[in-house]
Amino acid sequence: MAGLERCDLKLSGGEVIDGTGAARMRADVAIVDDRIAAIGDLSSVRAGREIDVTGRIVAPGFVDVHTHDDRALLSKPTMDMKVSQGVTSVVVGNCGISLAPLVMDRRPPPPLDLLGTEEWWKYGTFDAFLTAIDEAPASVNAAFLVGHSTLRVGAMDDVYRAARSDEIKTMRGRLEESLDAGACGLSTGLFYAPSEQAPTEEVIEIARALKTHGGRYVTHMRNEGADVVKSLEETFLIGREAGVPVIVSHHKVHGKDNFGRSKETLALFDRYRKSQKIGLDVYPYHASSTVLKADSIAFSNRVMVTWSVPHPEHKGRDLKDVAEEWGVDVYAAAERLQPAGAIYFSMDEDDVQRILSYPQAMFGSDGLPHDEFPHPRLWGTFPRILGHYSRDLGLFPLEEAVRRMTSLSAEEFGLKDRGEVAEGKFADLCVFDARDIIDSATFEDPMTPAAGIDTVVVNGRIVWAEGRCTGERSGRALRQGRA
């Protein structure tokens, strides 16, 4: 901004990685209100507050494209688990599970219960949910997907079958209302019981509502094991028939028989990306986490319990140990623990690194903020990528890592004026030490804040500094990606 004389906040002496993939540069960054006002040598610009960030990286705030933070935005509004790792925007409503539009008078079926019990399911419209976010803002921005499983539970008397034409019409109408209110797409969780009986045609008919709203189709596919290619083919077909962009959630291949097949799946992405818009996200761990399910146990080398309603004392324990203690097999133990959640060790590290290295792969945590003993990805995803995979293993340069957690994510999800350090963009920023940044959360101690994150700014306000939340709640509901 030519002639800038004064700003509200100035970050001085740092190296700017702007999020585009360009080489870092030495520059000061000035912020006025909620926007970046100037970048460069700003020694003559007076500031209401100036922070010396010499020796630090100044990057766009990270965008966590795969979260289940719908309820956390309201129940944990300082969002410590996200701002502590540099995240300034989240995409909620993934895997077919969104907190709206649905009112429940009983515990919702798994996996909807990952967001909470019935008292949290009180938003009959998406507009009511977004209004609640506006009235009690969190420390991060949020963009919103509408969950197909949520729509099914609200429209059908029995979700364990295909929907009838009238039910499809109801679901599509509620999706359209939600898109009008500000949702940016539809998510499915065809892997889960409430939606696994939905035929491809049902999803296509509902997803057709997305095109006129500029929405995207985001999916936890039916299968990430033996039928992973078949599931990718179905996903791409849905996108083509609906005429909308597709994003494959937490892309992986699991089960020992499928180790190495990421070569095959990524080749399929390359093939179809030539003719349609396709994206994907990935998290940097070889273990997954969701509700406790027998079919997931079958593919895993090890299973850890993350929560259990009837037996909370077993959180953090190996399922095998619980089963031995009870004198039953792991499947009987899992049944006794229900409702419950788990971590599944079922992936190959080579596949994880191959997908992480794919140039179009965005990064998302898939963290479960309401698990009592969560997967460490909830607190560690982004520093783990920057520290372990970029710096220590050299999978990709730091500039490339930042690009794929900022500008690429903002572009794929339509987050206007975010994801770059540039004049006129929103002042969502993360200041970190490239030498020290690393995840601290482990499978044994999963809720430890990362190291190396100095300062995090959301819409011009500092939300994380000196190792703690500041109490600022400057995040916004991004209706169709816009503030």
Asked whether the predicted pLDDT for residue 1 surpasses 70, the reply is: no
Rounded to whole angstroms, the Cα distance separating 278 from 275 reads 9
Secondary structure of residue 169 in the 3-state scheme: helix
Confidence of residue 482 (pLDDT cuts 50, 70, 90): confident
C-beta atoms surrounding 444 within 10 Å: 9
Q: Which of 65, 52, 216, 33 is nearest to 140 (CA)?
A: 65
Two structure tokens written together for 478:
């991004």
Confidence of residue 481 (pLDDT cuts 50, 70, 90): confident
> Which stretches does DSSP call E strand in 336-406?
340-345, 361-363
Percent of the chain whose pLDDT exceeds 90: 99
The pLDDT, as a whole number, for residue 110 is 96
Phi, psi of 379 (to 5 degrees): -110, -10
Asked whether the predicted pLDDT for residue 68 surpasses 80, the reply is: yes
Asked whether the predicted pLDDT for residue 2 surpasses 80, the reply is: no
What secondary structure letter does DSSP report for 61? P
Mean of the per-residue pLDDT values for the chain? 97
pLDDT single digits (tens) 287-306: 999 999 999 999 999 999 99
Asked whether the predicted pLDDT for residue 397 surpasses 60, the reply is: yes
Asked whether the predicted pLDDT for residue 385 surpasses 60, the reply is: yes
Secondary structure (H, E, C), 298-350:
HCCCEEEEEEECCCHHHCCCEHHHHHHHHCCCHHHHHHHHCCEEEEEECCCHH
Q: Contact 253/262 with Cβ under 8 angstroms?
A: yes
Question: Between β-strands 6-12 and 28-32, what pairing exists: parallel, antiparallel or unpaired?
Answer: antiparallel
Rounded to whole angstroms, the Cα distance separating 479 from 126 reads 11
Quick one: average pLDDT of 474-481?
Answer: 94
